Every structure is written in structure tokens, then in C-alpha cells.
Amino acid sequence: MTDIQRFGSGGPYEDMIGYSRVVRAGSLLTTAGCTSVVDGELVHEDDPYRQAMTAFQIGIEALAGAGCSRDRIVQTRMYITHRAHADEVGRAHHDTFVDVRPTTAMIIVAGFLDVRMLVEVELLAWASD
């Protein structure tokens, strides 16, 4: 049986909702949804590119804290609130992962917990035990 490890970030929603920033089950690591909330505050309001860049960085740093490097990311998911943000969020994905090239999906959703959030991302990685 594979051991499961849970890693928190101290983010404002973790205790309120009851989730972990990263869960590692053997070689598989997955992040919770990452947005551009830094130190409890949304940053880069009205800027989908910078929100996405921040969200990706939060996810990458969370995986690193669980012992997994960016080059081990095998899948990403991007959730956006408006089709008009797709190009800028896609550009942020390109700028972050062009050399890694994980599988990906971009999904339009009705909204997020904070109406100022334009994008949320999830990362899935595969690292050796």
C-alpha cells in the first residue's frame, strides 16, 4: 500500500474548506486549485496573464516543497471565467511550461470563490518514490 502525504501551505481557504495544497501518493503528486492569492490577498486584479503566472508559480513551489521539480509535471488544468482570457492564460502556460510540455486542458467555468479571480490551475506530477 502506498503511503499518502499531505502538504499544506497555510492558505486562507485550506482550513475553512478542509483540503491540502499538495497530496503525494507514492510517485503521484497533485495540487489543489491554485489562484493568484498571495499572503491572503488576491494579486493582479484584471490581469489574466499575471494571475495565471502567479497561480502556476504557487503550484510549482508547492510541488517543490513536497520534493518534486517542475520538470516532473505531467498534466495541467486551467480554469478560466471568460473565453476572452484564453489567449493570455495560454501564453502564461507557454511561458511556464514550453520546455516541459505537460498534457493540459483549459476549461471555462462560471466563476470562483472571489469574483476577481480570473484563473485557477491544477498541476499533476510524477516523481520517483
pLDDT tens by residue, 76-89: 999 999 999 999 99
Give the separation between CA 66 and CA 21, rounded to whole angstroms: 10
pLDDT at 58 over 70: yes
Write down the pTM of the prediction: 0.94
3-class secondary structure for 38-96? ECCEECCCCCHHHHHHHHHHHHHHHHHHCCCCHHHEEEEEEEECCHHHHHHHHHHHHHH
H or E stretch at 97: helix 86-97
pLDDT at 2 over 80: no
- Predicted local distance difference test score (pLDDT) of residue 88: 98
- Predicted local distance difference test score (pLDDT) of residue 14: 87
Domain boundaries, the chain: 4-126
- Predicted local distance difference test score (pLDDT) of residue 129: 57
Q: Which CATH number fits domain 4-126: 3.30.1330.40, 3.30.70.580, 3.40.50.10540, 1.10.286.10?
A: 3.30.1330.40
- Predicted local distance difference test score (pLDDT) of residue 1: 54
Give the separation between CA 30 and CA 113, rounded to whole angstroms: 21
Higher pLDDT, 109 or 2: 109
pLDDT at 112 over 90: yes
Three-state DSSP state, 17: helix
